[in-house]
Amino acid sequence: MMLMTFFLGITSCSTDSQSEINTDADKSVKMSSSSAAGLNYGQMHNDILEIYYEDYDYATSDLDLMEGAVEEYLIESSSPITFNDVKLLNPKLYSYSQQLYDTEGNVSEIKDLFQKMYDDGLSSKASYDYSIELIEIFEQYEGDVDAFKSNLNLYRGKVSQDYLIDSELKQNLLRAINIAEYSHMYWYEIVNINSLAKANSFYSANKVDTRRIAVIAGGDVAGALTGIQSGLVGYASLVFGPWGGAIAMAGTAAIGSLNAARVLR
């Protein structure tokens, strides 16, 4: 009887201990989800750019430095996940962000990358088509604040009312639109990049053909769309929850910013 009581006591303690561990884990997940529930992807993206460009000028395009800015933002925001966690989650998926960086903002090459992700079976036809359409809005209207906002709102309405696409893709596209709004606002209403471009002698002298490059804000959004189409955003969301998806999308959008800044050199 004494022996049985002893073992029952051990089992009870073990069960209580495991229960506490499970409870703590549940609390951790709930806190992580709760803190990420109200994330504004566009503001998150802009805040990362503020951190980066506070220390480096627009001629700087060091990928490690931009990733460091993402990490700094996450530390300041008390994120339970690091950008490195997302990178290491699936290096192959993250490698498409590096391939985006290698396009140097050339819109034809960005479209080719989108095609490659589709051909590799990573992106659905709907995801590919909507990504191309959003990039072309930047090609045609970026820098014209009123025309850009008007066409972006039409695009938003089209995405919102498309009941043939799955809910995850729809949600991610709407978040990419949010980044598009904030990125355009950052470059053209806050930084006033048009003035900087005109002041850049190389830019003016060579009359850079902006139709062939993802101008400025379009480079950022190309990053967000790459995160979506490669599957990195969905995978990071699945493994790490809301913070993971947000980091994968806003982080890759910030990396796309490095291509955008190249226009001013």
Give dist(CA 211, CA 213) in Å, integer. Answer: 6
Q: How far is CA 28 from CA 24, 153, 163, 228, 241, in A?
A: 6, 37, 34, 26, 11
pLDDT tens figures, 51-63: 988 887 766 678 8
264: pLDDT strictly greater than 90: no
pLDDT tens figures, 201-231: 444 444 444 444 446 788 889 999 999 999 9
DSSP letters, 186-243, are: IIIIIS-HHHHHHH-HHHHHHT--TTTBTTTHHHHHHHHHHHHHHSHHHHHHHHH-HH
Beta-carbon contacts of residue 130 (< 8 Å; ≥ 6 apart): 159, 165, 169, 173
The pTM of this model reads 0.78
pLDDT tens figures, 167-199: 999 999 999 999 999 999 988 888 777 665 555
Helix, coil or strand: residue 159: helix
Q: Which two tokens stand for residue 64?
A: 């490690």
Give dist(CA 80, CA 86) in Å, integer. Answer: 12
Give the rounded percent of residues in the chain with a pLDDT score beyond 70: 73
